[in-house]
């Protein structure tokens, strides 16, 4: 039996073991996927032990997506550009890192291509997920301008600097400012990459008391809950609200494809699990 896992801290809440074990069963592979909690201080030892155990592959989640880079033998170009790895393949003794959040976000945003291209896109947050979103928006789409709004403005400035060679102008802004309503009203597409509103703090929103327009598209990468407070407010204003489940399922499908070479319909599996 081949072993797979997700590593993170904490990680016991992850639904990835359920989903991937269902996927292995669906394609008839004798594999098992488990959640492994690794404290950031033990990441080096943890990866060495996974390597010697002969694990076939693993997902990487918060807070290890960045820290794992120097511990791998090879890193895929897109994952290196984003500076984060969420999938590792262990083949012939070589650990190779990929970032399938890129595939997941591309699938989430693809139906809104018309609004993104030529439009002004606002990204809330400047962490790992924000970098994957910026990578997709600047390499697969042609927005006129991207505004990165973050609680810590220095991080928004840092990320804008990292993507400064992109053909799209990237403007860093504070998420806490007097002109926030005006700024948000100027956005055609809004993408939340902060963790604000995630279970169990489901009443919180990164844009409290902000009015949305009917023609705005508001996406949230959070998928627990399926409808965040941000999406609820957007929906009530008549805007298009898009949850993060599609991204989660598509990143999982791409990880599974990298490990097994097999395509699975993760949405169908997810609906079965629910």
- As annotated, the active-site residues are 65
Q: For ligand NAP, give the closer residue by CB, 17 or 206.
A: 206
CA distance 230 to 207: 7
Least Cβ distance, residue 27 to ligand NAP (angstroms): 21
In sequence order, the 6+-apart residues with CB closer than 8 A to the CB of 49 are none
How big is the chain by its Cα radius of gyration, in Å? 19
Among the candidate windows 15-23, 67-75, 178-186, 190-198, which touches ligand NAP by CB under 6 A? 190-198
- Residues paired with 241 in a beta bridge: 218
> Out of 46, 104, 122, 143, which residue is the one contacting ligand NAP (CB under 6 A)?
104
Number of residues in contact with ligand NAP under rule CB under 6 A: 27
Among the candidate windows 87-95, 115-123, 216-224, 266-274, which touches ligand NAP by CB under 6 A? 216-224
Site string for ligand NAP, 2-41 (x = CB under 6 A): ----------------------------------------
Nearest to 149 by CA among 96, 94, 210, 91: 210
CA distance 234 to 18: 31
Q: Is 207 left (phi over 0), alpha (psi -120 to 50) or beta?
A: beta
Which pair of structure tokens corresponds to residue 16?
Answer: 């990835």
Across the chain, which distance is largest between two alpha carbons, in Å? Answer: 57
Among the candidate windows 45-53, 109-117, 144-152, 257-265, which touches ligand NAP by CB under 6 A? 144-152
CA distance 79 to 100: 8
Q: For ligand NAP, give the closer residue by CB, 30 or 259.
A: 259
Q: For ligand NAP, give the closer residue by CB, 134 or 247.
A: 247
Interface residue list for ligand NAP (CB under 6 A) = 62, 101, 104, 125-130, 150-152, 155, 175, 193-196, 198, 206, 221-223, 244, 247-248, 251
């Amino acid at each position: 039996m081949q072993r797979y896992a997700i590593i993170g801290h904490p990680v016991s809440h992850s639904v990835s073991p359920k989903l991937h074990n269902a996927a292995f069963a669906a394609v008839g592979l004798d594999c098992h996927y488990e959640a492994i909690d690794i404290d950031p201080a033990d990441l080096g030892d943890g990866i060495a032990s996974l390597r010697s155990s002969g694990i076939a592959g693993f997902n990487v989640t918060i807070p290890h997506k960045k820290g794992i880079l120097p511990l791998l033998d090879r890193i895929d170009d897109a994952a290196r550009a984003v500076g984060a790895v969420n999938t590792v393949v262990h083949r012939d003794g070589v650990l190779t890192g990929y970032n399938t959040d890129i595939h997941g976000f591309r699938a989430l945003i693809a139906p809104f291509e018309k609004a993104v291209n030529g439009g002004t896109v606002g990204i809330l947050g400047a962490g790992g997920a924000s970098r994957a979103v910026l990578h997709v928006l600047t390499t697969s789409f042609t927005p006129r301008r991207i505004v990165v709004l973050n609680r810590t403005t220095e991080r928004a400035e840092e990320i804008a600097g990292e993507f400064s060679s992109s053909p799209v102008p990237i403007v860093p802004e504070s998420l806490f400012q007097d002109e926030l309503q005006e700024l948000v009203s100027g956005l055609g597409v809004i993408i939340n990459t902060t963790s604000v509103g995630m279970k169990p703090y489901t009443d919180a929103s990164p844009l409290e008391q902000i009015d949305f327009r009917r023609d705005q598209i508001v996406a949230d990468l959070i998928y627990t809950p399926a409808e965040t407070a941000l999406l609820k407010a957007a929906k009530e204003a008549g805007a298009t609200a898009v949850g993060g489940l599609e991204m989660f399922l598509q990143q999982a499908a791409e990880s599974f494809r990298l490990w097994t070479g097999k395509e699975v319909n993760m949405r169908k599996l997810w609906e079965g699990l629910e």
